[in-house]
Amino acid sequence: MGFRRPRFFRRPDNPGISGIPGSQGGTTLTQYVFVTGGVVSSLGKGIVVASIGRMLKSRGATIAVMKLDPYLNVDPGTMSPYQHGEVYVTGDGSETDLDLGHYERFIDVELTAVSNVTAGQIYSDVISRERNGRYLGGTIQTVPHVTNLIKERIHQLADETGADVAVIEVGGTVGDIEGLPFLEAIRQMHNDVGRDNAIYVHLTLLPYLGSTGELKTKPTQHSVQALRGIGIQPDAIICRSDFEVDLGLREKISLYCDVPTEAVIGLETLDTVYAVPLSLEEAGFGDFLADRLGITKSPDLSQWADMVEKLRDPKRTVRVAIVGKYVELPDSYLSVIEALRHSALAQDCEVKIDWIKAEDIEELGADSVLDRASGVIVPGGFGERGIEGMVSAARYARERAIPYLGLCLGMQVMVIEFARSVLGLEDANSAEFDPGSKNHVIAYMPGQRELGTTGGTMRLGLYPCALVPGTIAAGAYGSELVNERHRHRYELNNDYRDRLNGAGLLTSGTAPDGSLVEISEVEGHPFMVGSQFHPEFASRPDRPHPLFREFMGAAVDTLREGAQHSLPMDESGGDDTASSPEIVERSGIST
């Protein structure tokens, strides 16, 4: 493997946390890299963690990764997207922080519930153990009981994955009150696993002062001072900046923060997040980590570099409209954005996204809002706000043969629109949006009617989908059975399935027993496909998801035709594209 084996020890008076084998570093050989943040939030710790994982994996190391979130929610599943961005669903059905999406995309690993720990989980577990008498009448305190449980979760990650290196992000910013137990727990890890086996990386901001034209290091010095006050001396400091971090600045930070100059890394704002591993590698950070971790194998990021180079040099541009409920915060659809980028990369093009608020379509009409789009995506969401705008977007795409990809809710509004416009069921709707409708073409899935809570009560995680031969979906996947990640309560109502199929809304994917519709598509349309699952979670830079890949291919073809974007010229111009046979044929799909 190209490793010098790590050295572990356990103090005689400290046999382990709660009697768990290896919980103080006694039986596993995992080493740890802890990443904290300072000065301000939203610096990109998740991208840095993902990039560290990518660099170490390129040296042959197996990687585990974890996000420690200090908020008191048990998970982000019930949080508004405006509060915390998208909810990322792992294969085992865990609703997690969006940073886990970065981890999976960069490192190409399949994560589970063990990779996302929140303060809500920790405190709930501590209180449950106390109520059940697990502490034998002892006084329960933050130290050691809360911190021990945090460390127990960290070691559980190592034990379950058997990874060579675990890269662990501590959410929030140094100085936040809610983050103190997590910082104390990772501080203790130094002694628990041995100082050679725990590395601390601190990410900070170097603000630019326009009046003097210089980057300022004082906030970084204060952030490190606060970290050291907790008992953590960073081994490396990564300095985010919009400008070059020269050697003089790095030497100054080295002097005041007691970190070797070679371990002070400048990270300028880049044109794509996928370039971050390459930038850190070029700055020598990969070699620094490898030396500290005893990794002797040389890195190979050549394929990653080729991917970034191709990403930076697209041959053409395609415009895609995302019609959603939370478009004011694009992070609400982060995985959708990245899946589009991956599929555009495969088509050697750049995707330009038009963010369309669904309510704007209700007010202005689809013709005036979607007229430039070569493709339309309606992503997931909950609640009735904006639904009629999404239905109008689906009708616009169907009638004009514009490529359409519906994701979860996007499939449901596609079904609603088809039932209204083609089957003539004017009140067709979802039981979620209009309980009084007589035609619930979307209804509660079996067993969900009586649920009284909202957290973790949906159909979550991987479920199998059997594809129908000869359909667009089956052609995209090139296989008969696939597994996809779900996050929803409602399903296509089987009472309407035969009527929809007969009218041209084909069932192209089902549960293996045929009981649930997983994919629907419009017959005769270049690409109008809706999935009840979330394919965006499975997309990778070098392996775009098949549905996104085929959607983008259809959008590129639509762009090449160009006819839907052309303006009719007067008779003297002799080029009235609006009446071309191609347009007539394509628009005729709705008849």
Out of 95, 536, 550, 561, the active site residue is: 536
CA atoms within 13 A on the CB side of 512: 7
Contacts with 309 (C-beta within 8 Å, 6 or more apart), sequence order: none
* Residues found in the chain: 591
Q: Two tokens at 14? A: 């400290």
Distance CA 40, CA 148 (A): 28
User: Residue for token digits 């675990």?
Assistant: 166
408 is catalytic: yes
Amino acid at 64: A
Does the annotation mark 239 as catalytic? Answer: no
CA dihedral sign, ordered 108, 289, 191, 123? negative
DSSP letter string over 126-166?
A: HHHHHHTTTTTTPPP-IIIIIHHHHHHHHHHHHHHH--SEE
Report cis status (omega within 30 of 0) of the bond before 144. yes
Residue of 239, 257, 349, 408 with catalytic role: 408
Alpha helices in 537-580 (DSSP H): 546-561
Tell me which of 338, 534, 545, 561 is the catalytic residue: 534
Contact 337, 330 (CB under 8 A): yes
Order of strands, edge to edge, in the sheet holding 236-241? 116-118, 63-69, 165-170, 31-37, 198-205, 236-241, 264-268
Nearest in space to 418 (alpha carbons), one of 384, 391, 445: 391
Angle between helices 119-131 and 180-193 (to 10 degrees): 80
The answer to whether residues 564 and 366 touch, using CB atoms and an 8 Å cutoff, is no
- In terms of Cβ atoms closer than 10 Å to its own Cβ (0-12, 13-18, 19+), residue 367 is exposed
Q: Is there a catalytic annotation at residue 342? A: no
Packed helices 119-131 and 147-161: angle between N→C axes, nearest 10 degrees: 110
Supply the residues annotated as catalytic.
Answer: 408, 534, 536
